[in-house]
Amino acid sequence: MKIHEYQAKEIFKRFGIPVPDGKVATTPEEAEKIANELGSPLVVKAQVHVGGRGKAGGVKLVKTPGEAKEAASKILGLDIKGLTVKKVLITKAIDIKDEAYIGYIVDRRSKKPLVMVSAAGGIDIEEVARETPEKIHKFVIDPFYGLLPHQAMELALKLYNDIKLVRKAADVILKLYKAFISVDASLSEINPFVVTPDGEIWAVDAKINIDDNALVRHPDIEEMRDVTEAEKKELDAKSKGLSYIKLDGNIGCVVNGAGLAMATMDLIKKYGGEPANFLDIGGSSSPEKVVNALNILISDKNVKSIFFNIFGGITRCDDVANGIVEALSKLTINLPIVIKLAGTNEDEAKKILSQTELITAASMADGAKKSIEIAGK
C-alpha cells in the first residue's frame, strides 16, 4: 500500500528523522491559513501516490501566504500521471546546499533488506540507476543483526567528507532502517536528503510503501489508506471474497484459483489478446460470487468479451453455472461469454448451461482464442 508524503513524514517523525514542519490542506483558503501559521518561505506540494511531482508542476516554492494560496489553487485538481490532486502539503521551505538519496527496499535476489545511498539525490533515482549506476552505493543487510552503526557510517562516508555530516547522516540511515523494519515497509526512501548551508540535515521528501500482507499488524497505517477510483473497485471485490486487479486489455477473465488465473492471462497473451483483469473467484464458489464477478466486469467499459475458465475441484461447476444463469437473469449483459468448465459436476453444469447462449470452449486454448476473436470484432 502506498501512503502520501505527509503520512510518511509523520512516521519519520516518530523515529526521530528530521522533517520540516507542515500541514495538509484541501482548499486554497486552508493552505493560506496554514501558511500564516508556519511562516515564510514555504513549499506547496501535491499529495498523490506518484513520484516526479516536481517536474509535473506539483511542487511550488512560495514567499508569502498569498502566494501559497495561489499555488494551492493551481496544484489542487491538477492531473499528475493520471491521478487527480486532492490534497496539498504546506511545509516550511528548506535552504538547500546539497541533495542526497537514502533508500531501503526488500531485495528479491538476496531476500534481504537492501540499503542504497547516493550523493546524486534530488533527481529521479531510477535515471541515476540507469545512466550512472556507479553513483549508487548498495549494501545488503543481514536481518538477524540489522544494520550496524559502523555499516551506517561507511555508507554515510560515501555521501560526505565532513565528519560531522557523516555522523548526522549515519544516524538518519540507522533511524530509517528502524522505521523500514518496524512498519513492515517494502520501500522507504528520502529523496532529497538535504544539507543546508548551516550544516543542518532534513528529509525534504518522504516515501513509504507498506507490504499489504503486514497491514493487519498496523491498524494505524491502514487508516492512512487513500484509495483511487480503480483501487475502490478492487477493495470492493475483496470485501466480496474476490481477488480482482484491473488491467488495460479488453478480455474479461473469471477464473477460480490464482494460478489458473495467471495461466489464463498468459494464454490470452500468447494468442495475441490482452486481459482486462485478473479475477479469482476463489476455491469454493457460490452463485452469488459469480454474480458479483460479472457485475465488476460489465462495469469496465473496456471489456469486449468474457472468458470463464473454471476448473472444478472444491469449486463445483454446477454452482458456477447456476451463478451464470442467475447473473444473466439479474443483470443486463450484452457481452459475449465464452466458457470452459471441467471437473467436479461438469455434466450437471453443462446441462444447466445448455439453456443459455454461452459459447462453450473445448479447451483452455480454444476458450482463449474464441474470446480474443470475439473481442476483436
Residue with the three cell numbers 502566494: 67
For 233, other C-beta atoms within 10 Å of its C-beta total 18
Binding site for ligand GDP (CB under 6 A): 43, 45, 51-54, 59, 61, 93-94, 96, 99, 122, 191-192, 204-205
How far from the centroid of its chain's Cα atoms is residue 217's Cα? 19
Which residues does 54 contact at the CB level (< 8 Å), separation at least 6? none
Binding site for Mn ion (CB under 5 A): 191, 205
Nearer CB in complex with ligand GDP: 92/138 = 92
Nearer CB in complex with ligand GDP: 54/313 = 54
Select from Mn ion, ligand GDP, none the partner in contact with residue 122, using the beta carbon and a kind-dependent cut-off of 5 to 8 Å: ligand GDP
Nearer CB in complex with ligand GDP: 59/368 = 59
Contact 187, 207 (CB under 8 A): yes
Peptide bond into 41 cis (omega under 30): yes
Residue 300 parent element (H or E): none
Nearest to 368 by CA among 255, 229, 235, 281: 255
Q: Closest distance between ligand GDP and the C-beta of residue 178, in Å?
A: 22
Ramachandran area for residue 56 (φ above 0: left; ψ -120 to 50: alpha; else beta):
alpha
Residues 343-377 as b/e (b if ≥16 CB within 10 A, e otherwise) read: ebbbebbeebbeeeebbbbeebeebbbbbbebbee
Instruction: Tell me which residue has its CB nearest to ligand GDP.
Output: 54
Nearer CB in complex with ligand GDP: 200/348 = 200
- From the candidates 101, 104, 160, 177, give the one annotated as an active-site residue: 101
CA distance 273 to 250: 8
- From the candidates 5, 67, 189, 234, give the one annotated as an active-site residue: 189
Secondary structure letter of residue 227 according to DSSP:
-
Q: Closest distance between Mn ion and the C-beta of residue 7, in Å?
A: 15
Nearer CB in complex with Mn ion: 78/333 = 78
Instruction: Tell me which residue has its CB nearest to Mn ion.
Output: 205
CA distance 187 to 259: 26
Select from ligand GDP, Mn ion, none the partner in contact with residue 93, using the beta carbon and a kind-dependent cut-off of 5 to 8 Å: ligand GDP
Select from ligand GDP, Mn ion, none the partner in contact with residue 204, using the beta carbon and a kind-dependent cut-off of 5 to 8 Å: ligand GDP
Nearer CB in complex with ligand GDP: 75/352 = 75
Select from Mn ion, ligand GDP, none the partner in contact with residue 113, using the beta carbon and a kind-dependent cut-off of 5 to 8 Å: none
Q: Closest distance between ligand GDP and the C-beta of residue 98, in Å?
A: 11
For 304, other C-beta atoms within 10 Å of its C-beta total 19
Instruction: Determine whether 101 is an active site residue.
Output: yes
SS3 helix, strand, coil % of the chain, rounded to 5?
A: 40, 25, 35
Q: Closest distance between Mn ion and the C-beta of residue 88, in Å?
A: 15
Q: Closest distance between Mn ion and the C-beta of residue 94, in Å?
A: 13
Secondary structure letter of residue 358 according to DSSP:
P
Select from Mn ion, ligand GDP, none the partner in contact with residue 43, using the beta carbon and a kind-dependent cut-off of 5 to 8 Å: ligand GDP
Q: Closest distance between ligand GDP and the C-beta of residue 202, in Å?
A: 8
Active-site residues: which are they?
101, 189
